[in-house]
Amino acid sequence: MLQLAVSDQIAMRIDDREIVRAGPSYTIDTLKSLKNEFGQHILCLIMGMDAFVSLDTWHQWDSIFQYAHIVYSRRPGSELKISNDKLRKLYNDRFCENPRDLYQSTAGSIFEVPAPQLDISSTQVREWLKKKQIPAEVLPEKVLTFIRKEGIYNRH
């Protein structure tokens, strides 16, 4: 489905290194591999706010900042609540308000994407799919066609 979703996007490609890697797959290992492959290029790890505020539970989470910037987004109306003291300090020390600041180094900063978003959860999308009431703008047409053809989310 991801391949279908990005098939019309010439600037995107899917990287399957986490799927083909033997054993547990940790983000830090993926970032090390990407850094090894792309050298001094700037890497940004993009995630939702829920993942960001639980970053302290990830394997070697504090090493991530050595390999990438973290770019997160939040759902409309949600509030950023960081409970881990070390992560809160890193956030306060590394947060940048201007995306141009990410070009000052190859890794280590935190940026919130100020992009408008739909306030839709994956649970809501699955419910719409089950009821066959999904709004056209929620999923790319190729993905929606695949889901319908394969009967995904119709299974019990």
% the chain with pLDDT above 70: 95
Strand order in the sheet with 44-48: 44-48, 69-73, 110-112
So what's the pLDDT on residue 116? Answer: 66
Domains of the chain: 2-112 (3.40.50.620), 120-156 (no CATH)
This prediction has a pTM of: 0.80
Q: How far is Cα 64 from Cα 79, in angstroms, rounded to an integer?
A: 23
- Give residue 120's pLDDT band: very low, low, confident or very high (50, 70, 90): confident
Confidence check: pLDDT of 21 > 80: yes
Burial of 104 (0-12, 13-18, 19+ CB in 10 A): exposed
- Tokens representing 94 are 């590394």
CB 51 within 8 A of CB 72: yes
Q: For the segment 73-113, what is each residue's pLDDT rounded down to a tens digit?
A: 987 778 899 999 999 999 999 999 999 999 999 999 999 99
Confidence check: pLDDT of 70 > 60: yes
Distances (CA, A) of 50 to 40, 80, 123: 29, 9, 15
Among 72-86, 122-136, 140-154, which is the least confidently predicted range? 122-136
